[in-house]
Amino acid sequence: MTFGRPFFEDPVATRRDALIRGGGGFGALVLSAMLRDNPLLAAAPSIDLKALHQPPTFKGHFPATAKRVIFLFMEGGPSQMDSFDPKPKLNQLAGQQIPSGYKRVITAMGEMDSPLLGSKRTWKQYGESGTWVSDWLPHTAQCVDDIAVIRSCWTNAINHSGGVCQMNTGTPLAGRPSLGSWVSYGLGTENENLPGFVVLTDSATSVINGPRNWGAGFMPAAYQGTKLEPGEEPIRWLNSPKGVEDERQLAKLRLLEQMNRDHAIERPFQTELDARIKAYELAFRMQAHAPETVAIEEETPETQALYGLDNKTTEAFGRNCLLARRLVERGVRFVQLYHGSGSKWDAHSGIEKNHTARFAESDKPVAGLLTDLKRRGLLDETLVIWGGEFGRTPMSEKGDGRDHNPTGFTMWMAGGGVKGGQVIGTTDDLGFHAIEDRLHVHDLHATVLYLLGLDHMRLIYKYNGRPERPTLNEGEAYTKITGRSLA
């Protein structure tokens, strides 16, 4: 049986057919639902459309351990052998060529014959688990008993555009839905007044590929991510313009609804307009609910300090991490945070200066997020993911940097049913290639969906008569991350 939205086999055609058959009545229902709490509609017919906005009843293919996801994306590719994957032999051989017998890899700069670059980090074991963490992450190190470190990730892409695209959509090529879109498609939202999939960036610098990373691809555009802006005003233009009375705003909405309805009836298979209509509906509901959601100033000084809001270095990413907690707390299904927007983790030269700055900006906010989720009882049902599009090479580039490495790098997961305090997989003794429990991006995506109760091979969207799946018919969920098996 094909699984799409829980109540339709073909959500686009069914919805549009209903629109055509319902004609003007449908538009009136939607407008009434949008404005049902507005006092200006007190004289209008009373229509109970609560069911129109209810979340889907589908609960997944098997019991879920996670209800929601926070993906902490370190854009540019952090170095695994300088963070969570210590390599003593790399330091022993620093300055020498890669020993014979090591598999070569074509990097972004071509086949590398540069000498090996040792790591300047100091390492300690933390927690009851004794997980090794470098001195670049003193705050995250305190949370290792809640973290599963995955040292054996690998991907296909060798440059940033393809790598970021693949880590988000499963392929280096544009055009497919993002992981957040698949989750929204499969499970819907828990809160009708907020987006189901939200994206946050830490600066005005554009993320490489831009909206392609959180787009819905060939699925209806309503499943794409909603990007919130960095800074004091995450949701731009949410409030009505100054001087615009409720009556005038209502008249504009009625006219817009009429125009959209007339346009949609003639174009039943264009999903962009349907997404825009839904966006207007959501925006109206958000006018009442979102201001409270993004009101970080309501948090106690202690909580704000926990995320680093009292420090200029950590303030930007700390604000986003705190906002992510407030979003999942209110039912947002998938939140993705980009740190280092514009490939700022890329360190082809000067990796010491680059990574010292990046970890200083992100380490405390990330640890604050894990700590805050745990103390509020949210971590058990919230899956937190950390990582970039790939890692770095053990060879030097430009003397003091590292090139892109797609063949072996580190990510971690915490919460959402993940067993903490474990290290999964290994790379070779130089940190170049994943050699044990190798997890491709498709495996990682399948694992995320598995924790949410979704089988990546049964989560299907029919596109041009072809069954499409989030992992392109590949990958396998790493069920050992929780200790339970597939139902």
CATH code for residues 68-234+294-481: 3.40.720.10
Give the three-state DSSP class for 161: helix
The one-letter amino acid code at 234 reads P
pLDDT at 409: 98
- Note the pLDDT of residue 193: 82
Predicted TM-score (pTM) of this structure: 0.83
348 near 205, Cβ under 8 Å?
no
For residues 469 and 457, what is the distance between their CA atoms, to the nearest angstrom? 6
* Paired residues of 126 in beta bridges: 131
Which pLDDT score is estimated for 105? 52
Spell out the domain ranges in the chain: 11-54+239-286, 68-234+294-481
Compute CA distances 275 → 14, 128, 151, 208, whole Å. Answer: 15, 48, 39, 24
DSSP string, 7-27: T-SSHHHHHHHHHHHHTHHHH
CA distance 154 to 201: 24
Token pair, residue 425, equals 């997989």
CA distance 366 to 368: 5
CA gap 478, 486 in Å, rounded: 10
pLDDT along the chain (487 residues), means of 10: 36 44 41 44 32 48 95 98 98 92 54 85 98 98 98 97 98 96 92 90 90 94 86 64 75 81 75 69 67 87 98 96 96 97 97 98 98 98 98 96 97 98 97 97 98 96 94 96 67
pLDDT confidence of residue 19: 40
Whether 307 contacts 365, CB under 8 Å: yes
DSSP 213: G
DSSP 350-418: -HHHHHHHHHHHHHHHHHHHHHHHHHTT-GGGEEEEEE-S-EE-SB-BTTTB--EE-SSEEEEEESTTP
Q: In whole angstroms, what is the distance from residue 198 CA to residue 180 CA?
A: 9
DSSP 237-258: T-SPPTT--HHHHHHHHHHHHH
**Paired residues of 125 in beta bridges:** 132
Total number of residues shown for the chain: 487
- Within a 13 Å sphere around the CA of 212, how many CA atoms are in the beta-carbon half? 19
Beta bridge partners of 227: 199
Q: How far is Cα 143 from Cα 328, in angstroms, rounded to an integer? A: 20
Provide the angle, in degrees to the nearest 10, between the axes of the packed helices 24-34 and 11-22.
Answer: 100
pLDDT score for 411:
98
Q: Where are the alpha helices (DSSP H) in 136-245?
A: 160-169, 179-187
Q: Cα–Cα distances in Å, from 467 out to 2, 12, 126, 389?
A: 8, 15, 46, 27
Cα separation, 159 vs 395, in Å, equals 17
Cα–Cα distance, 1 to 300 (Å, whole number): 50
pLDDT at 204: 80
Tokens describing residue 244 = 């615009």
At residue 111, the pLDDT reads: 47
**Looking up tokens 């990574």, which residue turns up?**
355
pLDDT of residue 23: 42
